C-alpha cells in the first residue's frame, strides 16, 4: 500500500480532551508528521465522563450501556466528530484526502484478566459524520486473544525511535492518567508495559483538595516534601514485581489516596509525583538492559517537578521530553492511532507477545465506511 494521510484521535484516561493528529504513512514507515490539534472537554462533559467510569464498574458485557453510559457514548462521539471537522477546516483539508480516521474512543473499563475492555464511542456514526472511513475498537481482539489490550502505542513508538539517532536502548514513556513505556533496542522487538500511575492520582488529589484539574507545571509539588513511607508502602503492591507485559485500569490505584497520611496539598502533590517517578524507575530491573535514554511524552511531561524526579530516579540515563527530540509530545498518542488505523487497513498486526502478552502478533481495529449503517 502506498503512503496515505491518516488522522488519529485519542481521548485518554485523564479525561482532559481529544488529541488530534495527521500523519502520512504506509503503516510501517512514517513518511511525514502533519498538523495536530486539541479539543478540550468542558467541565460538564468531564463530569459526565467521570460518572461513566463509575457506571462502568459493574459491566460484564462490553456492549451494555447502563446508567449514563449511553449518554456518555454520544458525548464522546460528538466531541470527536467536532474535533475532526474543526481540524480539517483549520488545515484546509477535505475529507476525501484522508484515507482513514483512527478512533480510540474513551476507555471506561479495562480488566484484561476478565477479557473485558470497554471503549465508548460509535465508530459508524463518526464515519458518517466525518465522511471518512473510521478504524475503531482497537483493544478488543487483543484482549479476546488473551493479551493485556494495552499499551497499543509501542508499534508506533518503535517506528519513531527508528528515525532517531543517539544512544540506545531508548524508552519512550507516555505519562497520561496511567504511565506506559516502550523499550526499544532494535533489532529486538519492542517491550512494553504500563508502569503504574501517571497523572491520575495527582489530578484526583488536587481536584479534591483545591478544585484544580492538575498541578500546573508541577509548581505545587516543587514546594512540597516527599513522604517516603507512603511511597515505600505503595511499592509493595504486587503489580510492581510483575514482569512486563502488564496493564492497568485508570482507577487501579485510586484507593491508595485514602491511605495518604495527613499532609499539606504541596506535600501531597510532591509525594504523588515522586510515586509516579519511583514506579517508573521500578520497571527498569524488568528490562533486558538499563535504557540509555528516556523520552517522555503525554501531559506528565509538563509537570517539571515530575520531570526532575524522573531525572533523579533514572540517572545516569538521559531524560528528555519528546519535544526536546523534535516530536510533538502531546500528539504522539493521536499520531499512534493514525498509524494503527493504517495498519488495520493493511491487515498488519499492531500488538505483539512482547507488548501486550498476546500469544501471537494480533491485528486490531474494525473498519467502518461512511456509507455503512
Ligand atoms: N501544564 C501542565 N502541568 C502539569 N500537568 C499537566 C499540564 N498539562 C497537562 N498535564 C497533565 O496531563 C494530563 C493530560 O495528559 P494526557 O497525555 O492527555 O493524558 P491521557 O492520555 O490520560 O488523556 C492532565 O490531566 C494533567 O495531569
Ligand atoms: Mg488526554
Instruction: Please work out whether the CB of residue 204 comes within 6 Å of at least one atom of ligand 1.
Output: no
Average pLDDT for residues 261-267, to the nearest whole number? 97
Protein residue with least CA distance to atom 14, ligand 1:
299
Alpha carbon of 318 to ligand 1 centroid (Å): 22
CATH 3.90.79.10 is held by the domain 4-149+333-368: no
CATH top class, domain 154-325: alpha beta
pLDDT band at 373 (very low <50, low <70, confident <90, very high): very low
Smallest Cα–Cα separation from 268: which of 197, 311, 209, 308? 209
Place of cell 508528521: 33
C-alpha cell at 222: 516543587
Q: Where are the domains of the chain?
A: 4-149+333-368, 154-325
Q: Is the pTM of this model over 0.85?
A: yes
Sign, CA dihedral 319-321-327-333, equals positive
Residues 239 and 188: their CA atoms lie apart, in Å, by: 25
pLDDT of residue 251: 86
Q: Is 312 in the pocket of ligand 1 (CB under 6 A)?
A: no
d(Cα 286, Cα 273) in Å, to the nearest integer? 22
Ordered alpha helix ranges (H), the chain: 43-56, 69-90, 123-130, 140-144, 154-162, 200-210, 219-223, 228-234, 265-281, 304-314, 332-346
The per-residue pLDDT for 1 is 76
Nearest CA, atom 11, ligand 1? 299
- Residue 225, number of CB atoms within 10 A of its CB: 12
Tens-place pLDDT, residues 172-214 = 999 999 999 999 998 899 999 999 999 999 999 999 999 999 9
Centroid of ligand 1 to alpha carbon of 96 (angstroms): 32
Q: Whose CA is nearest to atom 8 of ligand 1?
A: 299
Q: From the CA of 15, give the closest atom in ligand 1.
A: 23
Ligand 1 midpoint to CA 174 (Å): 10
Ligand nearest to the CA of 332: 1
What confidence tier does 371 reach under pLDDT thresholds 50, 70, 90?
A: confident
Indicate the average pLDDT of the chain: 96
Give the position, in ligand 1's atom list, of the atom nearest the Cα of 297.
17
Q: How far apart are CA 54 and CA 49, in angstroms?
A: 9
What spacing in Å lies between the alpha carbon of 216 and ligand 1's midpoint? 9
**Per-residue model confidence as pLDDT tens digits over 202-258:** 999 999 999 999 999 999 999 999 999 999 999 999 999 999 999 998 888 989 999
Nine-digit cell string for 358: 498476546
Amino acid at each position: 500500500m502506498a503512503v496515505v494521510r491518516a488522522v488519529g484521535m485519542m481521548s485518554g484516561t485523564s479525561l482532559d480532551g481529544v488529541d488530534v493528529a495527521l500523519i502520512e504513512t504506509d503503516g510501517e514507515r512514517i513518511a511525514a508528521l502533519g498538523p495536530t490539534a486539541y479539543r478540550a472537554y468542558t467541565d460538564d462533559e468531564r463530569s459526565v465522563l467521570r460518572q461513566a467510569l463509575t457506571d462502568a464498574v459493574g459491566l460484564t458485557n462490553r456492549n451494555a450501556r447502563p446508567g449514563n453510559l449511553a449518554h456518555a457514548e454520544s458525548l464522546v462521539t460528538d466531541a470527536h466528530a467536532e474535533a475532526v471537522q474543526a481540524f480539517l477546516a483549520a488545515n484546509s483539508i477535505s475529507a476525501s484526502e484522508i484515507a482513514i480516521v483512527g478512533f480510540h474512543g474513551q476507555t471506561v473499563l479495562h480488566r484484561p484478566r476478565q477479557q473485558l475492555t470497554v471503549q465508548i464511542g460509535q465508530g459508524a456514526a463518526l464515519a458518517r459524520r466525518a465522511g471518512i472511513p473510521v478504524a475503531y475498537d482497537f483493544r478488543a481482539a487483543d484482549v479476546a486473544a488473551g493479551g493485556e489490550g494495552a499499551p497499543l502505542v509501542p508499534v508506533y513508538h518503535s517506528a519513531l525511535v527508528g528515525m532517531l539517532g543517539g544512544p540506545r536502548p531508548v524508552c519512550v514513556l507516555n505519562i497520561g492518567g496511567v504511565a506506559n513505556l516502550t523499550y526499544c533496542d532494535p533489532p529486538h522487538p519492542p517491550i512494553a508495559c504500563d508502569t503504574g500511575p501517571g497523572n491520575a492520582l495527582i489530578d484526583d488529589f488536587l481536584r479534591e483538595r483545591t478544585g484544580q484539574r492538575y498541578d500546573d507545571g508541577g509548581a505545587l509539588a516543587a514546594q512540597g516534601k516527599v513522604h517516603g513511607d507512603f511511597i515505600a508502602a505503595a511499592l509493595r503492591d504486587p503489580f510492581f514485581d510483575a514482569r512486563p507485559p502488564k496493564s492497568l485500569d485508570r482507577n487501579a490505584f485510586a484507593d491508595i489516596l485514602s491511605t495518604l497520611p495527613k499532609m499539606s496539598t504541596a506535600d501531597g502533590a510532591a509525594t504523588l509525583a515522586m510515586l509516579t517517578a519511583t514506579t517508573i524507575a521500578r520497571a527498569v530491573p524488568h528490562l533486558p538492559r538499563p535504557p540509555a535514554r528516556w523520552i517522555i511524552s503525554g501531559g506528565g511531561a509538563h509537570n517539571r517537578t515530575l520531570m526532575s524526579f524522573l531525572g533523579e530516579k533514572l540517572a545516569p540515563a538521559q531524560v528528555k521530553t519528546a519535544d526536546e527530540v523534535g516530536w510533538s509530545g502531546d500528539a504522539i498518542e493521536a499520531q499512534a492511532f493514525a498509524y494503527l488505523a493504517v495498519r488495520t487497513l493493511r491487515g498488519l498486526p499492531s500488538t505483539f507477545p512482547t507488548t501486550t502478552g498476546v500469544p501471537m502478533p494480533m491485528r486490531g481495529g474494525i473498519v467502518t465506511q461512511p456509507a455503512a449503517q
